[in-house]
Amino acid sequence: MKKTEAKKRIEELREITAYHAKRYYDDDAPEISDFEYDMLMNELKNLERQFPELISEDSLTQKVGGTVKEGFEKVTHEVPLQSLQDVFDFDEVREFDKRIQEQARQFETKVQYVVETKIDGLSAALEYKNGKFVRGATRGNGLIGEDVTENLKTVRTIPQSLNEPIDIIVRGEVYIGKKEFEKLNEEREIQDEPLFANSRNAAAGSLRQLDSNITKTRPLDIFIFNVQKCDSKQFSSHYETLNYLEKIGFNVVPTRTLCNTIEEAIDVIKKIGENREKLSFGIDGAVIKVDNLELREKIGTTFKTPKWAIAYKYPPEQKETKVNDIICQVGRTGAITPLAILEPVKVAGSTISKTTLHNEDFIKEKDIRIGDTVVIQKAGDVIPEIVDVRREKRNGTEKTFEMPKFCPVCGAPTVREQGEAVTRCIGIECSAVQLRSIAHFASKEGMDINGLGMAIVEELINKGLVKNISDIYKLSLEQIASLKKNGIKFAQNLIDAIEASKKNDLSKLINGLGIRHLGTKTSKLLAKRYKNIDAIINAKFDELSMIDDIGPVIAESIYSFFGQEQTRDLIEKLKNAGVNMEYTETEEDDRFIGKTFVLTGTLEKYSRDEASEIIEKYGGKTSSSVSKKTSYVLAGEEAGSKLTKAEELGVQIITEAEFDEMIK
C-alpha cells in the first residue's frame, strides 16, 4: 500500500474507532460486536506499524478509550489503569514469548507466566486505608477516572473491611453474571425498558449511575486481578499477590494458572476456550502475564499498555447449517420476535439449534428464507447469529417469511407502528403478556394496589390463581395467605387494597390497562373528557385524533385497543367485579395553570414521576428541555446542563424546599 493510501485509510479508521469507542466506553451502547471493533483496531495498528511516521497522539492505539462522565468527581489514579495489547492467534502469542525470553536472558531471569480469564466487564480501582474501603474509581482514560465509591459499596463481593489493616490499591473487573444478566433483561422487558446489548454494557451502565439507589438494584459482582500499589508489603510474583488478595478477603479472579512455558500457557488458553460456556460469567479472552514482578519492572510499559502482558482474543467460529423453520415468540411486552429453527450444529463449544432473527427488517435485509443454508457465528460469549446466507445453494423450494397479522398466542391483531422495527400483539388478555399486564395494572401509576408487586403477581400466576387482570378481584383471603408463611396479615392488607382500588377514578383504570403511548396525563385527559368507560369505547378515531395532546398516533392506539373483543370482555368482567367506570368530579386546584416546569438533578423527597404528577394535578405542564417559555426549573442534587441553560436564559430556578412551599 502506498503512503497516500495508507494515510487516507488511517484517518478513516481513527474516525470510525473513535466513534465506536465512545459508543462502547462512554455511552455503554455499542453498535458493533467486540470482534468487529477489534478487527478495526488491529488494521489501524498494523498500518501504523508499517508507517510509523503517520502515528499521532489522538489515535486510539496511543491512549486508553473512555472519558469521565459529567456529574462524577474526577479521580487521578496513583498507578495508571492501562489496557492490554490484543493478539488473535497463537503465532502472535509465541512472538510475545520470544520478546520476553530475549529480555529475560539479559537479566538472567527464568520466565513463568500466569494465565487468567479476561472478564468481560468494567475496570475499577479500589483503595483501602488501614484495611477499610475508602474510595473506588472507574478506569476512565487510564489516568483519570470517575469516583464511584458509593456505587461500589452496593457490590456485595467488595469487602468494606479487609482481614488485615493494610493500605492497598487493587484493580478488578465489575461484571454481571450470565444468569443475572438474563434476569435483568427479562425485568426490563416487563417494564418496557430498552434491553441491554450485553452484560458488559449492563455492568458499565449500572456502575456509572449518578444515583447509587439504581446501582443497588443491579446484580453487580467483581473479580480482583491485580495489586496496583502496596508500599507496606513486598511481593516477588503476581501469582503470590493473587493468593494474598484472596487471603485478606477479596473475590479474586477464579481461573488463574501458573505456567512454566509458553506452550503450557497456550494449552491453558485452549482449555479456557473449550470450557467458557460452563463459566457463570462472560469472558472476552484470556490474559497472559509475566509472573516475576521484578522482571516486569525491567521490561517496562508503553504509555497505553504493559510490555509484559497480552490478551488473547478467541476468534469467532463460523459454521454452516440449515434454517428448518421460522417461528414467532411473544415476549412479555407483546413484542413478537421471529426465531430461526436450525439444523443443530456445534459452534464455539455449544450446540446451536435456534437463534433470534430480531425483527422483520433483519430478515428482509439478509434475505433469510425457510430452507436456506446459512452461516452462523458465535464469538466468545456473544449470542449466536446468522451472518450470511448461501444463496448459491438455493434449489427453489425455499419459502419467504412474513410476520403474522394475528398473535400466535391469543389471536389478537398485531401492529407495527411507524418508526418502529418491532411487531406487537395488542391483546390485553394474551397469556404471553399476562405478568407485565397484571403488574402494571396493580402498580402505583395504575390501580395502586399496595402489596401486589411483580414477585407476588408472578407467584399468583405460577400457582394458577390469576390468569388475567380481572382475576385479581376473585382472589380470596386463603389463596393469598397460602403464598407466605403466617401470611394472614399480609393477605388481609392485600384484600383491603384490592377492595379499595374498586373506588379509584376512571383515569387510574385507563392508565392501568397499559394502552400503548398512554401515560398518567393522557389517561386523565380521556377520563375528564368522556366521563365514563363506555363513551371512550364508542369514541371514533377521527374524534380522538382531534383532541389536544393526543393526535393520530395515540388516537390509533386507543381506538385499536378498545376495538378488540378481548378488551371489551375484560371491561365487562371488571364492571361485574364492581370496579368504578366513571370519572369522579373533584374540586380542581389550578394554581399551576399555564406554567411549565423542567426537572433536573435528583430530588430527595420525590421521584421525577411523582413531582410531575403533582405539577399536572395543579394544572401545570412538564417539559424535558429548557427554553424561554419555561416557567420554573426545579433543581435537585447534581443538576446538570439544564440548570446551566436556565441560568443563561434567566429562567427562575427553584429548590425542592421552595417547591414544597408552592404546593402547600
Active site residues: 118
User: Where does residue 58 fall: left (phi above 0), alpha (psi -120 to 50 degrees), or beta otherwise?
Assistant: alpha
Q: Count CB neighbours of 294 within 10 A.
A: 13
CA separation for the pair 292, 103 (Å, rounded) = 13
- Under a CB-based contact definition with an 8 Å cutoff, are residues 303 and 406 in contact? no
Q: Count CB neighbours of 110 within 10 A.
A: 11
Q: Copy the grid coordinates of residue 142.
A: 487510564
Q: Which amino acid is at 424?
A: R
Segments of 548-611 assigned E as strands: 596-600
CA separation for the pair 336, 429 (Å, rounded) = 16
- Under a CB-based contact definition with an 8 Å cutoff, are residues 360 and 423 in contact? yes
CA separation for the pair 251, 235 (Å, rounded) = 19
- Under a CB-based contact definition with an 8 Å cutoff, are residues 461 and 365 in contact? no
Environment class of residue 641 by beta-carbon count within 10 Å: exposed (0-12), middle (13-18) or buried (19+)? exposed
CA separation for the pair 266, 97 (Å, rounded) = 11
The SS3 assignment for 303 reads: coil
Task: Give the Å distances, CA to CA, from 85 to 88, 123, 173, 289, 308.
Answer: 10, 16, 17, 11, 10
CA separation for the pair 541, 112 (Å, rounded) = 75
CA separation for the pair 181, 210 (Å, rounded) = 21
Q: What are phi and psi of 82, to 5 degrees?
A: -80, 165
Q: Copy the grid coordinates of residue 294.
A: 521484578
Length of the chain: 664
Helix axes 434-442, 178-190, angle to 10 degrees: 60
Segments of 534-601 assigned E as strands: 596-600
CA separation for the pair 19, 25 (Å, rounded) = 10
**Strand bridging mode 596-600 / 423-425:** unpaired
Nearest to 114 by CA among 255, 227, 277, 222: 255
- How many CA atoms are closer than 13 Å to the CA of 427, on its beta-carbon side? 24
- Under a CB-based contact definition with an 8 Å cutoff, are residues 43 and 84 in contact? no
Q: Copy the grid coordinates of residue 502.
A: 374498586
Block residue for cell numbers 489516568? 143
CA angle, 53 then 54 then 57, to 5°: 105
CA 318 to chain centre: 27
Q: Copy the grid coordinates of residue 533.
A: 368507560
DSSP-derived secondary structure letter, 313: P
H/E element, 334: none
- CA 19, 22, 24, 28 dihedral sign is negative
**Strand bridging mode 283-290 / 309-312:** antiparallel
